[in-house]
């Protein structure tokens, strides 16, 4: 009588399937991350409400949010051209344009330069997000925040960038 133990083979097969599934999951996450940083979404909304003052009727607003230093084309030209095509009356930045860590300081400063560049399209109303807040409040990132802000303040033409940090105009 000859008995073969196959329990080890079944365990290896299950382990192999688990490894294949994990590799596929990692590839999906990485490819989605790459896609997200190469393509942006434009959603258009038309808002009608009797409470909106006549001065705001037919106003075009572009809102940017959570770009986290993403760059679309060389020097963000793809995003810049798309914003320009939309012909906004003003631009709202809802925060999280930079990334709050010291490894990203160069990209953060490029993001600030891009914001200055789009200020020639329309006035910008900039609300800080949690990344800007972390830069502002962190002892280690405070110098980066000061430089980020100085790029925005020193280069913006005619003070066209307004900070909306718990303020109203």
Spatial distance between the Cα atoms of 72 and 38, rounded to a whole number of angstroms? 6
Cβ within 8 Å of residue 156, ≥6 positions away:
116, 119, 124
Q: Give the tens place of pLDDT for each residue, 122-156.
A: 999 999 888 998 998 889 899 999 999 899 888 65
Model confidence at 103, pLDDT cuts 50, 70, 90, reads confident
Order of strands across the sheet with 90-93? 61-64, 90-93, 123-126, 161-163
Give CA–CA dist 29/24, Å, rounded. Answer: 9
- Residue bearing tokens 């959603």: 43
Q: Which residue would you say has higher pLDDT here, 43 or 33?
A: 43
113 and 151 Cβ atoms separated by less than 8 Å: yes
Name the DSSP class of 25. Answer: H
Strands (E), the chain: 61-64, 90-93, 123-126, 161-163
Kindly give the pairing relationship between strand 61-64 and strand 123-126.
Answer: unpaired
In this model, does residue 88 exceed pLDDT 90? Answer: yes
């Amino acid at each position: 009588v000859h008995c073969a133990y196959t329990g080890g083979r079944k365990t290896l097969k299950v382990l192999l399937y688990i490894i294949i599934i994990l590799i596929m999951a990692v590839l999906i996450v990485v490819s989605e991350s790459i896609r997200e940083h190469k393509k942006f979404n434009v959603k258009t909304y038309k808002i009608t409400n009797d409470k909106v003052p006549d001065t705001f009727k037919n106003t075009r607003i572009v809102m940017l949010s959570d770009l986290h230093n993403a760059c679309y084309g060389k020097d963000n030209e793809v995003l810049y051209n798309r914003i320009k095509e939309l012909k906004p009356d003003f631009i709202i930045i809802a925060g999280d344009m930079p990334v709050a860590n010291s490894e990203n300081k160069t990209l953060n400063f490029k993001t600030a330069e891009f914001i200055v560049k789009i200020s020639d399209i329309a006035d910008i109303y900039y609300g800080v997000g949690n990344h800007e807040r972390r830069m502002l409040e962190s002892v280690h990132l405070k110098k980066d925040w000061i430089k980020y802000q100085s790029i925005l303040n020193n280069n913006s033409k005619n003070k066209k960038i307004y900070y909306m940090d718990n303020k109203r105009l």
